[in-house]
Amino acid sequence: MTEGDYRHVYVVIEVQDGKLVPVSFEMLGEARRLFDKFNKQNDSSEKVVAVLLGQNVKEISESLIKAGADAVIIADNPDLKEIRNTTYTKIISQIAKDKEIARRIEPKYADQFKRPRYMFFAADSIGRHLSSTVLAELEAGLASDINKLEISDLEINHQQKTNGMPVIYKKTLEMYRPDFSGFLWTTILCLDNTNPAIERDYHPQSCSIIPGVFEPIDPDQKRNGVIIEYVPKIDQNDLRVKVLSRKIIKSQIDFDSHKAVVSFGRGIKESPEQNIKLIERLAKDLGAQIGVSLPISKKPFSVSQSVASTYMIPDRVIGTSGRKISPLVYIAAGISGAMQHIAGMKESAFVVAINPDDAAPIKDESDIFIKGRMEDVIPLLIEEFKVQSQTATA
């Protein structure tokens, strides 16, 4: 591998109804932070490159520069108005391999350029699908649902990868994801095979990034960058899938007009039906909406049909797979606080958690952590609210 083979980080931007989706700015912010450090440490000048597909997207490309990109590659075409996986996969893969684009970004290494060093996608329904098909097309590695990234030199000694020899993998993207409800971090590496029997490269090292995890940078109006217009090669075959109409279905569950949300998770397990009734009662007294953790929407416990169909539903899920909310008060009962859940409620102004396990990650997100079982704690809260409201009305 030469210095010029793999360069830069390409960040695949998402647009919805002509507007940039917030996770796009979050990915750019993290790419900027990583690359400022990376370039300083390696005395290099690799770039943060935004890849933007759609129709009439030119005017929003400048904001990507202000948000941290050194370059924006635009594919602006009426056929890209709606996201179609096959067409988007083809064009993003073309862009990732294009030496002429690489020349506009950094002429010095353009002749050697093979692929980006790293690629970021959003871990939402569009980005998860797209990242898998693009990386299959590029025959490289992908880690999904990442919430921490580092770049380091690692010494690896692996029977298959390195033929049992110690090898220093320079500039390796360490991609962290929370597993087992956030109790275990898994680090995923996409490493080239240096073993002569199966030698091959796996670049770009790529991941999808959980929305809401990274902070965007403050827009810098003075930042300059290159805008590169790419004319995509689309043929009729790519357009076989037609989008005839598109409708965003509004959720039946209204979180926005409630000042408080009470959510419950698998901690209801000892007596699911009775615990849900308790939560229902608490929520009613507070005028709160009810949310759930993702596993609850899969109906893991047997409860009456009416309770299951009212509460154990995807529409109530808080987190990356569901809703992102910001109530004044968020009460998490029997929820461990996995990263994917936290991403949906961390904007809440005041958080109360009820959990017997004070090692649960939700504790770190809480303003008040009540160590205890919900069966014991919620009746006390209901009683106390009753007393307080009687005092207030007296």
Cα–Cα distance between 221 and 58 in angstroms, integer? 17
Binding mask 275-314 for ligand FAD (x = CB under 6 A): ------------------xxx-------------------
319 binds ligand FAD (CB under 6 A): yes
Cα–Cα distance between 32 and 47 in angstroms, integer? 9
Q: Give the neighbor-by-neighbor strand order of the sheet with 350-355.
A: 289-292, 260-264, 329-333, 350-355, 368-371
374 binds ligand FAD (CB under 6 A): yes
Per the listing, tokens 């940078």 go with 217
Tell me the three state secondary structure of residue 315.
helix
The answer for residues whose C-beta is within 8 angstroms of residue 204's C-beta and 6 or more apart is: 6, 10, 96, 115, 116, 117, 118, 119, 135, 138, 140
Applying the rule CB under 6 A, the residues between 330 and 369 that interact with ligand FAD are: 333-336, 338, 340-341, 344, 354-357, 360
213 binds ligand FAD (CB under 6 A): no
**Helix runs in the chain, H state only:** 22-42, 58-66, 85-97, 99-105, 125-138, 272-286, 294-297, 305-311, 339-345, 362-365, 374-393
- Identify the residue among 61, 87, 289, 320 touching ligand FAD (CB under 6 A): 320
Binding mask 43-72 for ligand FAD (x = CB under 6 A): ------------------------------
- Identify the residue among 42, 132, 373, 385 touching ligand FAD (CB under 6 A): 373
Q: What is the closest distance, in whole angstroms, from the C-beta atom of residue 371 to ligand FAD in the complex? A: 10
Percent composition of the chain: helix, strand, coil (DSSP 3-state, to 5): 35, 25, 40
- Identify the residue among 141, 211, 265, 327 touching ligand FAD (CB under 6 A): 265
158 binds ligand FAD (CB under 6 A): no
Contact assessment for residue 351 and residue 332, using Cβ atoms and an 8 Å cutoff:
yes
**Nearest residue (CB) to ligand FAD, 261 versus 335:** 335
Q: What is the closest distance, in whole angstroms, from the C-beta atom of residue 298 to ligand FAD in the complex? A: 10
Neighbouring-strand partners of residue 368: 352
- Identify the residue among 199, 256, 270, 358 touching ligand FAD (CB under 6 A): 270
Cα–Cα distance between 112 and 97 in angstroms, integer? 11
CA contacts within 13 A on the Cβ side of 198: 11
Binding mask 133-152 for ligand FAD (x = CB under 6 A): ------------x-------
- Identify the residue among 209, 317, 325, 345 touching ligand FAD (CB under 6 A): 317
Candidates 12-20, 154-162, 234-242, 329-337; binding stretch for ligand FAD (CB under 6 A): 329-337
User: Which residues are near ligand FAD by CB under 6 A?
Assistant: 145, 181, 265-267, 270, 293-295, 317-322, 333-336, 338, 340-341, 344, 354-357, 360, 373-375
